[in-house]
């Protein structure tokens, strides 16, 4: 019976969030803010989460390591990167 439960949980929509569950609370918060707001810069994430910029940087690096966040350059300001969630 546990085998069928495992198969069911792997095919559920929440399975994309599985790597996030093992991350620190700051990374979970950043992921949730990206889920609700779409694409944001690091400074926008710091404003939305009320976390220090250094903590946001760390959270983003952890999220990128597990493959749930991607970044791209901002066309408006090439010094900034825009982060977005890769899971639904």
CATH at 71: 1.10.10.10
Burial (CB count within 10 angstroms: exposed 0-12, middle 13-18, buried 19+), residue 59: buried
Six-digit token pair at 23? Answer: 């991350």
Q: Which domain holds residue 11?
A: 2-85
Each of the 88 residues of the chain gets a pLDDT tens digit; together they read 444 444 443 444 456 888 899 999 999 999 999 999 999 999 999 999 999 999 999 999 999 999 999 999 989 988 999 999 998 7
Name the pTM for this structure: 0.79
Question: Looking at the 3D structure of the chain, how many domains does it have?
Answer: 1
Provide the pLDDT for residue 9: 39
Task: Measure the CA dihedral 19/78/45/87, to 10°.
Answer: -30
Provide the pLDDT for residue 86: 92
């Amino acid at each position: 019976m546990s085998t069928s439960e495992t198969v069911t949980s792997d095919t559920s929509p929440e399975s994309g969030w599985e790597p996030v569950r093992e991350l620190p609370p700051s990374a979970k918060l950043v992921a949730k803010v990206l889920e609700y707001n779409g694409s944001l810069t690091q400074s926008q994430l710091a404003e939305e989460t009320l976390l220090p910029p250094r903590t946001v940087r760390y959270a983003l690096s952890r999220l990128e390591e597990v493959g749930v966040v991607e970044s791209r350059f901002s066309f408006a300001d090439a010094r900034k990167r825009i982060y977005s969630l890769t899971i639904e």
